[in-house]
Chains A and B, each alone.
Chain A
Amino acid sequence: MRRSGSLLGSVLIGVPLLLAALGPLLSRLLGTTAPTGTSPLLPPGGDFVLGTDVLGRDVLGLALGGGTSVVGLTVGALALAYVVGVPLGLALAGTVRAWADRAVLAVLDIVLVVPSLLLLLVLAAAGRRGTWWLLAVAALISLPPIVRLVRAAASVPDRRAALETMTMLGEPWWRVRLLEAGRLVAGPVAVDAGSRLVLLVALVTSANFLGLGLAPDAVDWAVMIEQNTTALFLAPVTLLLPAALLVSLCAGANLLVDQALAHRGAS
């Protein structure tokens, strides 16, 4: 059962991930970019295997090329959140100034209560949208739980003696508080990264579906769905193909993360 779960998860995540990695290259090889002026909503068959979308673009080309930005944005936002969050959490765990610790956590708690899409909607209303805003907001929203996790993992009592010994032996502050404490944190962060990745895929694609992130003509599965919502009855494949790929990506990632967590818990 456990093995079959991993297998199912690998297959589900494999197809969209392969497309994200090789799709743009494949799309160029197959020549799946419709020339400008192609009629919109051509039925499948003929020059275009899956037809064209409302903007006259080749649906096959969009499906091949649209995964790269989904995966790229998610991984980018996650990396950004950890690059900021891990040092911040370590610094909070290491500081002797309790007021600074409390102040930073209080500020982060404000971010924690803001619903994820709210910030993106407000920014988009003020004309601020695009890849960088999306990355920054997705990272910011992930920050409070990461900082709390790192702070807690770096101050586990049973390792305190080792840290104190290193300090008394005259090791520099950064080696004790950042490197040695960082080793303590690596495990919990790796576990957390899996489930956070799944959450971020949903957030980033939802933002793109609502038109809050990438430009309207971007080649991206979620943007493709947003652009083609009016074609639900005329050309359902323009919506269902990217939707199926996204569901498969998320469900597969989730299954693998669950398996990894169960494995970790069992050992």
Chain B
Amino acid sequence: MRRAPLRLAVGVGQLVVVAVVVFFLTTSLPGDTAEIVLGQDATPEQVAALRAQLGTDRPAGERFADWASGVLAGDLGRSLQTGQPVVTELSTRLGSTALLAALTLLLLLPLAVLAGTAAGRRAGSSLDRGLTGFLSSVQAAPEFALGLLLVALFALQLGWVPATGGGGGLVTPAVLVLPVVVLVANQLGRLARQVRAGVLTVDRAPHVVHLRRLGLPEPVVLARHVLPGAVLPTIQQLARVVDGLLGGVVVVESLFALPGIGSGFVEAVRARDLPLVGGYALLFAATTILVNLAAGLLSARLTPYRAVLT
């Protein structure tokens, strides 16, 4: 915990580096915004006029200073397409992605503990091999391909749920079913495997064996003594899960035509809306860095022996 300020400083440093990289990738390398926005048919005068209007004819260092001071003041600039402030665009889309992520985590965590415990307590059994093999194979498949197969089965064949959100917003909760299933399927294998490994170790630990020998009821042994020791080490893994969810959200929202920051990012890229792309990139990077930081601190808090050793 004493290292928290240091870690926070490292996180801020990482974010600054990401911001610089994003700025220079999007605006300063050859091939500029004006040419991309106007397309190939534009005359040189049009390009020059747009450049002057956007201010991209000024030196890169000066523009970066402008942009960076804006970012520090909470102003990410305006979208090239709509003219709306980037912050407004981001915040209107954040809600539906947050809902999707929250639903996914709500299903993912109990399922991972259940599957991991079931597999870990009977390690080597056919249940363990079947479950672990199935979950990790499902997880290996790209989200969009898995999503399409699920759409074919549950939307086209059985007609249980609508195939896509149709881009019109979250009209009915049913449009969220398949996206949540795909996101859960994509992360469950990884998390369940961690829980399984934890349960496998703790289940055979001397203190647990002793408690069983004392005649403590099995549910109590499991809930009070095996699971806490088995599940807590997986918190570090949760950071990877959230990172995977962010990437998955980009793909899943595009596939199911859901509004959100994932599909918003892809649309901004298609429209070559560079200020908006920069805003999304900062948002994604900041989320990842924060989650990693939180997971690092939390797991340092929960495994005190590391504080003793270092």
Please, could you name 20 A-B residue pairs with CB atoms under 8 Å apart, sorted by A?
A110-B14, A113-B288, A113-B292, A115-B284, A117-B250, A118-B281, A121-B277, A122-B25, A122-B277, A125-B274, A126-B25, A205-B144, A205-B145, A209-B251, A210-B250, A210-B254, A222-B144, A236-B156, A242-B145, A254-B139
Among A2, A115, A121, A225: residue with most chain B CB under 10 A: A115
- Indicate whether A188 reaches chain B with its CB closer than 8 angstroms: no
Closest chain B residue to A120 by CB distance?
B269
Given A201-B142, A210-B251, A128 and B31 contact (CB-CB distance below 8 Å): yes
Residues of B within 8 A of A233 (CB): 156, 163
Q: Say which one of B53-61, B88-96, B146-154 lies at the interface with A.
A: B146-154
Contact yes or no, A250 B141, CB < 8 A: yes
Q: Say which one of B105-113, B129-137, B298-306 lies at the interface with A.
A: B129-137
Tell me which residues from 208 to 261 in chain A have a Cβ below 8 Å from any Cβ of chain B.
209-212, 222, 225, 229, 232-233, 236, 239-240, 242-244, 246-247, 250-251, 253-255, 258
Q: Could you tell me the distance between the alpha carbons of A244 and B145 in the complex, rounded to whole angstroms?
A: 7
Q: Tell me, rounded to whole Å, the shortest Cβ–Cβ distance linking B255 to chain A.
A: 8
Contact yes or no, A1 B250, CB < 8 A: no
- Indicate whether A176 reaches chain B with its CB closer than 8 angstroms: no
Given A117-B250, A232-B151, A247-B141, A126 and B26 contact (CB-CB distance below 8 Å): yes
Sample of 18 further A-B pairs with CB below 8 A, known A122-B281, A202-B140: A110-B18, A114-B18, A117-B251, A122-B22, A125-B274, A128-B25, A202-B142, A202-B143, A206-B247, A211-B270, A229-B255, A236-B156, A246-B142, A247-B149, A254-B137, A254-B140, A258-B133, A258-B136
Q: Could you tell me the distance between the alpha carbons of A212 and B277 in the complex, rounded to whole angstroms?
A: 14
Please report the total number of A residues contacting B with Cβ < 8 Å: 47
Contact yes or no, B274 A202, CB < 8 A: no
Residues of A within 8 A of B151 (CB): 232
Given A117-B247, A210-B254, A125 and B269 contact (CB-CB distance below 8 Å): yes
Q: Could you tell me the distance between the alpha carbons of A246 and B149 in the complex, rounded to whole angstroms?
A: 11
Render A1-25 as a binary contact track against B, CB cut-off 8 A, 1 for contact. Answer: 1100100000000000000000000
- Indicate whether B172 reaches chain A with its CB closer than 8 angstroms: no
Q: Tell me, rounded to whole Å, the shortest Cβ–Cβ distance linking B32 to chain A.
A: 9
Q: Tell me, rounded to whole Å, the shortest Cβ–Cβ distance linking B183 to chain A.
A: 13
Tell me which residues from 79 to 134 in chain A have a Cβ below 8 Å from any Cβ of chain B.
109-110, 113-118, 121-128
Residues of A within 8 A of B133 (CB): 5, 255, 258
Render A168-209 as a binary contact track against B, CB cut-off 8 A, 1 for contact. Answer: 000000000000000000000000000000100110011001
- Indicate whether B232 reaches chain A with its CB closer than 8 angstroms: no
Q: Which residue of A122, A128, A244 contacts B149 across the interface (Cβ within 8 Å)?
A: A244
Q: Which residue of A109, A113, A236, A255 contacts B152 across the interface (Cβ within 8 Å)?
A: A236
Contact yes or no, B137 A255, CB < 8 A: yes
Closest chain A residue to B27 by CB distance?
A126
Contact yes or no, B144 A209, CB < 8 A: yes
Q: Could you tell me the distance between the alpha carbons of A255 and B189 in the complex, rounded to whole angstroms?
A: 13
Contact yes or no, B18 A225, CB < 8 A: no
Residues of A within 8 A of B139 (CB): 254
Q: Which residue of A115, A125, A239, A242 contacts B247 across the interface (Cβ within 8 Å)?
A: A115
Contact yes or no, A127 B31, CB < 8 A: yes
Residues of B within 8 A of A125 (CB): 26, 268-269, 272-274, 277
Residues of B within 8 A of A247 (CB): 141-142, 145-146, 149
- Indicate whether B36 reaches chain A with its CB closer than 8 angstroms: yes
Q: Could you tell me the distance between the alpha carbons of A201 and B247 in the complex, rounded to whole angstroms?
A: 14
Among B148, B156, B265, B277: residue with most chain A CB under 10 A: B148
- Indicate whether B126 reaches chain A with its CB closer than 8 angstroms: yes
Residues of B within 8 A of A255 (CB): 133, 137
Residues of A within 8 A of B148 (CB): 225, 239-240, 243
Q: Which residue of B27, B243, B265 contacts A121 across the interface (Cβ within 8 Å)?
A: B265
- Indicate whether B73 reaches chain A with its CB closer than 8 angstroms: no
Q: Could you tell me the distance between the alpha carbons of A255 and B132 in the complex, rounded to whole angstroms?
A: 10
Q: Could you tell me the distance between the alpha carbons of A246 and B144 in the complex, rounded to whole angstroms?
A: 10
Contact yes or no, A121 B140, CB < 8 A: no
Q: Could you tell me the distance between the alpha carbons of A106 and B243 in the complex, rounded to whole angstroms?
A: 19
- Indicate whether B289 reaches chain A with its CB closer than 8 angstroms: yes
